[in-house]
Amino acid sequence: MPGWWAEQVIEVVPDGALLTLTGGTPEVDTTAHYWANPTPAVLALTGGQPSVTLSDHKVVAPSSATLTLAGGQPTVTVFGITGIAATNGTSGTIPTHAAGDLIVIFAFARNSTTVPPAPAAGGTVPTWSFVNQGNAGAACVGVVATAVATANNHTTGTWSGADSVTAVVIRGQAASPIGGQAGGGASTLDATAPAVTLSKTDGSSILLHFMGARTGGATVTWGAAPAGYTKRTEITSGGPICVLTKDATTTDGAVTVTRTGGTTGYSGHTIEIIRG
């Protein structure tokens, strides 16, 4: 009998590649003015063109395509206050900072009409830029100034005539960071930071409110922050000051903090910091 055989050809079809994308470009906004902007996810597919190998009359399945995802872990960009320090005396402590951060100074003289002059730049003292001043017309005065850090070891320098110096460090600000700002004062016991015209009304800015109380050396007691505001720090003796931020910055208005002790007169200041 003539010989015969059966030839069987098996074809194996690989599973289709399955793409999964995580990440994306969400933007996170919290009430503390911190923003997270993740880097967009990037998909890369390798092995997409299968290579077919014939062996013993069989089609061998190619290796599965490999999918890799880069950018899934977001890079967080911070905009907000990273530190505040209030110190009695003619110089203060600048909280931890890095090059590019904005440093805001509030120098306050509790019983004088002479504005504390900004110290000259040099060494670890940056170049201070005047923002505003305020006085009560009743022998107390304050001044607000800013500088963009160029290093991580800046000092305030000496603000001659000041009784206290407050330093605020902000990260993630715009290249031109100062929006609405104003300074003022009056011969009353309670202190008021003035209203300003906001440069941004989308809620992305930070509003800082500085207040200083006239006193001949007596201890004062600051009241609680009004609803919608957060008290960041205060000094009750020496050069009494109070610092607030506004919780929601889509609108602005004057804000008053009550106090007891000391004598009538205050210096009040408001400054808008614009997000980068």
Q: What is the pLDDT of residue 17?
A: 46
Q: What is the pLDDT of residue 127?
A: 98
Mean pLDDT for the stretch of residues 202-215: 97
Mean pLDDT for the stretch of residues 106-114: 95
Distance of CA 64 to the CA centre of its chain: 46
**Amino acid letter, 82:** T
Q: How far apart are CA 117 and CA 102, in angstroms?
A: 20
**Residue (of 132, 139, 137) closest to 106 by Cα position:** 132
Show the beta-strand stretches assigned E in 80-228: 80-88, 102-109, 129-135, 141-148, 164-171, 173-186, 191-193, 206-213, 221-222
What b/e readout covers 38-73, taking b as 16+ CB neighbours within 10 angstroms?
Answer: beebeeeeeeeeeeeeeeeeeeeeeeebebeeebee
Q: Which residue has the higher pLDDT, 13 or 114?
A: 114
Residue 187, judged by CB atoms within 10 A of its CB (0-12, 13-18, 19+), counts as middle
Q: Are 264 and 187 in contact (CB under 8 A)?
A: yes
- In DSSP terms, which residues pair with 257 in a beta bridge? 191
- In DSSP terms, which residues pair with 135 in a beta bridge? 141
- Per DSSP, 125 falls in state B
Q: Is the pLDDT of residue 61 over 70?
A: no
| Run of H or E including 67 | strand 66-70
Q: What is the pLDDT of residue 62?
A: 58
What b/e readout covers 243-261, taking b as 16+ CB neighbours within 10 angstroms?
Answer: bbbbeebeebeebbbebee
Q: Is the pLDDT of residue 35 over 50?
A: no
Q: Per-residue pLDDT tens for 218-243?
A: 999 999 999 999 999 999 999 999 99
Q: What is the pLDDT of residue 264?
A: 93
Q: Are 145 and 239 in contact (CB under 8 A)?
A: no
Q: What is the pLDDT of residue 21?
A: 46
Q: What is the pLDDT of residue 245?
A: 98
Domain ranges of the chain: 8-77, 80-275
Entry pTM: 0.77
